[in-house]
Structure 1
Amino acid sequence: MIRVADILAAGTWEGNPSDTITLDREDRHRRRAVLTGSGGTAFLLDQPNAVHLHHGDGLELEDGRIIEVVGASEDLVEIEADDMGHLVKIAWHLGNRHLPTQLMGQTLRIRRDHVIEDLVVRLGGKLT
C-alpha cells in the first residue's frame, strides 16, 4: 500500500490534488490509519506521533501525488450565558471534560452532543 511521505500545510502546496479525503475533527487527529479518498485512492498514514490534519492540508504520497484534506461539515452548538461568570463556569466544565471548545468572546462553540447540551442547560447556558 502506498504511504504518505509528507504532510504539506494548507497554503504551502500548489496544483490540483489527485484525490480528496473528507474527515471530521476526530478523524483528522491520527497517527496511523488506512484511508481511502473520495476518488478511490487507498493509502496509509503512518506517523511516529499523532498529527492533527487541517482543512486544506496536502498529503503527499510516495509517488508525488497529493491528497487534499477536507474538513467535514459538523453540527455545532453555540452557548450563551447571562453573564461572563456563568460562561466561564460552563467553559471550565467543558474543559474539565477535555472537549474541544471554540471561544468566541461572549459565546462558546462546541460539537453537538445531547449529553453535554443537557449539562450546559443545567449550568444555566442557552443553546443555539
Structure 2
Amino acid sequence: MIRATSVIRAAALARGEIVDRIVLDHGDRHRRRMAMRGVGGLAFLLDLPEPTVLDDGDALALEDGRLVWVEAAPERLLAVRAGSDHALKRLIWHIGNRHIPAEITDDAVFIAYDHVLAEMVRGLGGSAEPVERPFRPEGGAYAGGHAPAHGHDAGHPGEPAGGHAHHHGDGRYHIHD
C-alpha cells in the first residue's frame, strides 16, 4: 500500500498532482498512522513521523509525489453566542472549565453538540444554536498556537512524578510514565 509520509500546509501548497481527496472530522484530522481511503477510492497509509493536525486545505504527499487533498468534514456543533463581550467571556470560562475543545471566532464559540452544554449556556443567558460546519478548535496552551499537539515540555504542576498527563482535544486523556 502506498504511504503518505508528509503534509504540505495549505499556505505552502504551490502545485502538484492532486489525485484524490480525504474528508475528515476533527478527531480524524489529528493522526500519525492510519489506513485511509480517499473519496475517489485511493487507498493509502498515513504514515507520518509524529502525530500531526491536518487542516482544511492541506495536502498529504504520497511517496510517489502525488497529493491527496485534505478537507474538513462538516460536524454537528453548537454556536454559542451572548449579548455582550462580557457575557461571552463568561460563557467561554464555563466552557473552558469543562475542558472541552472549542473554536473561538469573532462572534461565536463553537463546541461539539451536547444538549447538556446547550442547556447550561442558555441557563447562563447565552444562546446555543445547532449548526453543521467544519470544526477547528483551539490547540491549547501547550500546542504551540496550533491545533492539538501531542507532546509537552517537561512536567507541569500537578502531574504525576516521572511522567505527564494530557488531553488530546478529542475526548482522550491519558498519563505517560
Q: TM-score, normalised by structure 2?
A: 0.63
Which sections of structure 1, spanning at least 5 residues, go unmatched?
none
Indicate the SS of the match to 1:55: coil
1:35-57 deviations in whole A, cap 9, x for unaligned? 11111111111223211101111
1:75-116 deviations in whole A, cap 9, x for unaligned? 332222243333222111222333232323343222322232
Which sections of structure 2, spanning at least 5 residues, go unmatched?
130-177
CA contact 1:84–1:106 (8 Å) conserved in 2:
no
Deviates more, 1:35-44 or 1:107-116: 107-116
Identity %: 42
- The residue identity in structure 2 corresponding to 1:22 is V
- The residue identity in structure 1 corresponding to 2:84 is D
* In 2: Cα distance, 1:65 partner to 1:105 partner: 37
* In 1: Cα distance, 2:21 partner to 2:50 partner: 23
5 Å matches for 1:24-39? 24-39=25-40
- The residue identity in structure 2 corresponding to 1:101 is A
Cα drift, residue 117 of structure 1: 1.4
Query: Which residue is equivalent to 1:79?
Result: 80
5 Å matches for 1:41-80? 41-80=42-81
Query: Across the two proteins, how many residue pairs are aligned to each other?
Result: 128
Q: State the structure with bigger RCO (CA 8 A, min sep 6), 1 or 2.
A: 1
Q: TM-score, normalised by structure 1?
A: 0.84
